[in-house]
Amino acid sequence: MGRQKTAIGLMSGTSMDGIDVALVKTDGEGFVARGPSLYIPYDAGLRACWKKALVTAKAITERHQRPGDLADAERTLTLCHAAAVKSFLARHDLAPGDIDVIGFHGQTVLHRPDAALTVQIGDGPLLAEETGIDVVYDMRANDMVHGGQGAPLIPAYHAALAANLPEGLSRPAVFVNIGGISNLTYTGQSGRSDELAAFDSGPGNMLIDQWVEAQTGKSFDQGGAIAARGTVVPALVNRYLESPFFSGNQRRSLDRGDFSVPVVGEVSLEDGARTLAHVTGASIVKLSAYLPEKPKTYVVCGGGRLNPVIMAEFAKVAAEQGAAVIAAEQAGFDGGAMEAEAWAYLAVRSLCELPLTFPGTTGVREAVTGGVFVPSNKKAPV
């Protein structure tokens, strides 16, 4: 076991709802000690800024380009993350010198795996300068250079957690992250990296959020209240599940633009939300057929686990395959902080030049490390 490092992970996902901050002590391999976490929501103005960035980013043809106002958005996003780190340190009576490294995901604004192009805005050098802490960022790009899809990256962390699953849990267990986009990780019976299988499994909260916001102005369906009043529309479910994404033997990672919401007027607000909740769960179960073994337990993290309608629809479809669905908390984990924890863990792996991605997770030709390291030049005040 290598020297343990204390790392902070920062995650802003495809839902674009806020920043997750989490602390982990790890050697980048089998030892993981999970620390505190913090969630800082974006206000409406910032969410609008990121949505505008998605539109601007469509003009990008080379990953370092920042057309239009995208450079300003990147600076704003980075300063928001720096403020989140400072708030986290102050809340937990920590100093910059207590932290070895920050794992900085940034905000994905463009992801075109078929063109080997992925863009996460987020200025690593600026974050290091603002926080006074070393930073590892841009962790997806090297995977694509070596033939991978650039996603998902979380499976390396799932493999480390798999060793600590509760004894009574039926295996094989699959980790499912339901964020804006859902992805799943099969960790095998031993959790070894050569047994990992992972891929994006379809839309998560993304479509429900877009559907609800377009018609109500609310950024998401809190507690599944809207979906709970609706019914599933089978024809609409079939239309989503018949997408080419779900067919073929080669799995691919998703971009926000790969699926769209129903046409306004096609279904009611409530029926649309309920149907999209069902699609989230049904997508995961449908693509689990591509795993090495049939899952017995799905361990769910990400914001989707807080929507009881998504969880109920997922559980209903999974039960038809003889599998159970549980929230990460039922397995002793923190389902809200897991992605941020993973980015902390991956930053340490990057420092140790350990692989972040594997042939069974992203389709990369061989296991590769990744990330860009930025040393801090000063210790910034908290």
Using one digit for the tens of pLDDT, what is the confidence trace for 260-288?
999 989 999 999 999 999 999 999 999 99
- Cβ(351)–Cβ(25) below 8 Å: no
State the pLDDT at residue 382: 45
Closest CA to 205 of 190, 185, 227, 172: 227
Query: How many residues make up the chain in this entry?
Result: 382
- Cβ(103)–Cβ(345) below 8 Å: yes
Would you call 244 exposed, middle or buried from its count of C-beta atoms within 10 A (0-12, 13-18, 19+)? exposed
Closest CA to 122 of 251, 19, 231: 19
**CA 122 – CA 250 distance, rounded (Å):** 30
b/e map 331-369, b = 16+ CB within 10 Å: bebbbbbbbbbbbbbbbbbbbeebbbbbbbbbbbeebbb
Average per-residue pLDDT for the chain:
94
Closest CA to 37 of 269, 334, 270, 296: 334
Using one digit for the tens of pLDDT, what is the confidence trace for 122-169?
999 999 999 999 999 999 999 999 999 999 999 999 999 988 888 888
Task: Give CA torsion, residues 19, 20, 23, 26, to 10 deg.
Answer: -110
Using one digit for the tens of pLDDT, what is the confidence trace for 310-365?
999 999 999 999 999 999 999 999 999 999 999 999 999 999 999 999 999 999 99
pTM: 0.91
- How, if at all, do strands 297-301 and 324-327 pair? parallel
Average pLDDT, stretch 206-229?
95
For the cut 90, the answer to whether the pLDDT of residue 64 exceeds it is yes
Q: Which domains does the chain have, with CATH numbers?
A: 5-150+360-374 (3.30.420.40), 167-331 (3.30.420.40)
Average pLDDT, stretch 212-226?
95
Using one digit for the tens of pLDDT, what is the confidence trace for 92-125?
999 999 999 999 999 999 999 989 999 999 999 9
**CA 205 – CA 321 distance, rounded (Å):** 23
Closest CA to 102 of 379, 368, 340: 340
